[in-house]
Amino acid sequence: MDTNMDKYLGTTLDDRYEILEVIGTGGMAVVYKAVDQRLNRFVAVKILRDELARDEEFRARFQIEAQAVAMLSHPNIVSVYDVSHTEDVEYIVMELIEGVTLMQYMQKRGALGWKEALHFSVQITKALEHAHDKGIVHRDIKPQNIMILRDGTIKVADFGIAALESTQEQRSDQTVGSVHYIAPEQARGETPDTRSDIYSLGVVMYEMLTGKMPYDGETAEQIALKHIAGIAVPPQEINPDIPDELARITLKAMNADIKKRYQTAAKLLEDLEEFRKQQAAAGRASSEEYAEEYELVTPDVRPIGTTGEMSAAKYARRRKRSRKVSIMSGAVGVLVFMVAVFVFLWNYWLRDIFSAAERIDLPNFVGADYEDVVNNSSYRELYKFTVTYTIDPTIPEGEIISQDPEAGRSLMIVPEGIEVTLTVSTGVRESTVPDVLNHSRSEAISELQAAGFDYEIVEAASDTITQNYVISTDPAPGEPLAEGSTVIVTISAGPVERTVTMPNLVGYTESEAINILHNNNLTYADTTYIESEQDEGTVIRQSIDAYESVAEHTRIYLWVSTGPAETPEPTESPEPEETTPITGVEEE
């Protein structure tokens, strides 16, 4: 077990919360089951990981978010009881939920019935309405953050905290499921607001109703682009049992155009409640009609006794009515079968025999809003649309740029739909390329990323720009460019390395040799003086042989003659001196 996780087991925080066991982990924190000894109840304690607790900026954000969420009080929001921070630990104390996440529930159940999906959606919307009224945006609504209690009550978890956790997971290169629920404005790097939560809820509703994600892809970038384009298959095409009105509400909630989306959770809740009332009223009406037909309505409750028994005449009438209903039901069944057979034969055989091929002039879709076109019921009956996307900052998001075939073409109507390819603008925003010339490599990368651009590094030699500093960018500084595009940054690799042919310096005087080196862009290093048979002051050797190829500015060493060694002159032997007799000594 991770030591960061088990270090708190068995400890008591603030002399109050006794840590019992780990119940969840994330990139930002570890969640423990604990006992609140003061109130004698189980709670969940989320403790910030040690490495993040040492980050002052992250600690400050964690405290602000946690304290704000602690003000929320709603039956569909996981309650935050306490927020504490010391020099060593940051944690929040929350309501302990005994249940499963909506993600776990859908993994077992698959697509939910529309009534169950509606029941859950209403509760989530109420939670969002309450939080938004308090100025708090969740920023990461997804099934993993939605809990289902055993009685079917929904609890939305991690208001305000979830965005911090997703940020940390992305920094740690962990897989984050949020990209499937991200609002288009978040995918473009814009600051999310309450309408971003509504979009994410719309995606969750779509998944509950169909059992599928509206957008999927091999990479997060592909999925994000699909969110921006907004091309989800209508949910009732996946599951025909979904009522049209509930499908409309879902698609409006997850509209890629933030202005066409529900602007408040209250408006979304209003439509959901109205739909539920209509369905309930329709259900009651059909039940009453059925009951009247079969005399199941009992306006008064009769006491137990003979008065409640059926008379013979009444029994005979009922049997007669039952036979009549059975005969009529059988006749209707036969008629429905015959109609079905005729429709089948007409669609797959008779129509081609008795009908001439119908043709239609293709309308001009260019300039129209993509959603208006694909959601038009008459268009959906006639055409089968395929969509491609292009980044064009000059054309609004969702506007159709071109179509294939072109407008005005006369085309034959076919049962599977006329195939039309639409090219739609993603409406990505433009920004200007920052001026990073003469900035270091790391500074340039940071500034480009902050401006919303990707980058590609190439190297080039330069005699004027210091190595590892920016020579140029493509596009140039100040030029407009779609955010997310790649800027090519040329970095200096230092001066260009040139070569010269090593001149012959032997035989020249020292000063002449030094001048020759300078004239050939070579560097004089040092001279060693040695005796030789050559004239004094003459170069007799060089560190690199003549006529070899050598890099400019290479240091060259010289050996210079001091002349031949001097020969010593022979010396004459001295003549013997005369011996002078010692005086004062008499001979014997």
What are the pLDDT digits (tens) for 28-42? 778 899 999 988 899
pLDDT at res. 203:
97
Question: Residue 588 has what pLDDT?
Answer: 41
Q: Say how far residue 19 (Cα) sits from the centre of its chain.
A: 34
| Annotation says 140 is catalytic | yes
461-507 confidence digits (pLDDT tens): 887 888 889 999 998 998 887 776 789 999 988 877 788 999 999 99
How would DSSP label each residue in 449-472?
A: HHTT-EEEEEEE--SSSPTTBEEE
Angle among Cα 373, 379, 381 to the nearest 5 degrees reads 145
Of 271, 318, 291, nearest to 125 by C-alpha is 271
3-state DSSP percent of the chain in helix, strand and coil, to 5: 35, 25, 40
Q: Provide the percentage of residues in the chain whose pLDDT is more than 70.
A: 78
Does 290 score more than 50 pLDDT?
A: no
> Could you identify the residue written with the tokens 């996307």?
389
In this prediction, residue 346 carries a pLDDT of 59
DSSP character for 159?
T
pLDDT at 583 exceeding the cut of 60? no
Distance CA 253, CA 250 (A): 5
For the chain, what is the radius of gyration of the CA atoms?
44
pTM for the model: 0.50
Question: Tens digit of pLDDT for each residue in 424-453?
Answer: 887 666 678 999 999 988 889 988 888 878
**Cβ partners under 8 Å of residue 412, min gap 6:** 357, 358, 359, 418
Identity of the amino acid at 420: V
pLDDT at 263 over 70: yes
DSSP 346: I
Q: Residues 168-187: pLDDT tens digits? A: 444 443 333 478 999 998 88
In tens, the pLDDT along 502-533 reads 999 999 999 999 999 999 999 998 999 999 98
- Considering only the C-alpha atoms of the chain, give the largest distance between any 2 of them, rounded to a whole number of Å: 206
Q: Comparing 430-492 with 499-561, is the CATH topology the same?
A: yes
Q: What is the pLDDT of residues 100-150, one digit of tens each?
A: 899 999 998 889 999 999 999 999 999 999 988 888 888 889 999 899 988
Interstrand relation of 486-492 and 470-474 (parallel, antiparallel or unpaired): antiparallel
Distance CA 12, CA 18 (A): 4
All residues at 6 or more sequence positions from 550 whose CB lies less than 8 Å from its CB, including other chains: 499, 500, 501, 502, 522, 544
Mean pLDDT of the chain: 80
Query: According to the model, what pLDDT value does residue 207 have?
Result: 96
Contact 426, 459 (CB under 8 A): no
Is the pLDDT reported for residue 89 higher than 90? no
Among 481, 457, 483, CA closest to 471: 457
Which pLDDT tens digit goes with each residue over 49-75? 887 777 777 777 777 767 777 778 888
Query: Which band of pLDDT confidence, cut at 50, 70 and 90, is reported for residue 202?
Result: very high
Active-site hit among 140, 241, 361, 463: 140
Question: What's the per-residue H, E or C state across 255-292?
Answer: CCCCCCCCCCHHHHHHHHHHHHHHHHHHHHHHHHHHHH
Give me the CATH code for the 430-492 domain, please. 3.30.10.20
One of 3.40.1360.10, 3.30.10.20, 3.40.50.720, 1.20.140.10 is the CATH number of 360-425, namely 3.30.10.20
**Domain 99-277: assigned CATH number:** 1.10.510.10
State the first-to-last Cα distance of the chain, in angstroms, to the nearest integer: 127
Pairing of strands 480-482, 410-412: unpaired
What interhelical angle do 244-253 and 194-210 show, nearest 10? 140
Backbone torsion region of residue 534, taken as left when φ is above 0, otherwise alpha when ψ lies between -120 and 50, otherwise beta = beta
Superfamily (CATH H level) for 3-95: Phosphorylase Kinase; domain 1 (3.30.200.20)
Indicate if the pLDDT at residue 302 is higher than 80: no
Return the domain boundaries, the chain: 3-95, 99-277, 360-425, 430-492, 499-561
Identify the sign of the CA torsion 100, 103, 108, 111: positive
Distance CA 306, CA 483 (A): 84
Look at residues 271, 274, 268, 155 and name the one whose alpha carbon lies nearest to residue 202.
Answer: 268
- CA-to-CA separations, 69 to 44, 58, 182, in angstroms, rounded: 15, 17, 21
8 A C-beta contact, residue 110 and residue 170: no
At 205, is the pLDDT very low, low, confident or very high (cuts 50, 70, 90)? Answer: very high
* CB atoms near residue 404 (< 10 Å): 13
DSSP string, 499-559: EEEPPP-TTSBHHHHHHHHHHTT-EEEEEEEE--SSPTTBEEEESS-TT-EEETT-EEEEE
Tell me the three state secondary structure of residue 343.
helix
| The pLDDT of residue 212 | 93
The confidence score (pLDDT) of residue 428 equals 63
Amino acid identity of residue 533, one-letter, is: E
Domain 499-561 adopts which CATH fold? Answer: Trypsin Inhibitor V; Chain A (3.30.10)
- pLDDT for 90 equals 85
- In this model, does residue 338 exceed pLDDT 80? no
- Percentage of the chain surpassing pLDDT 90? 33
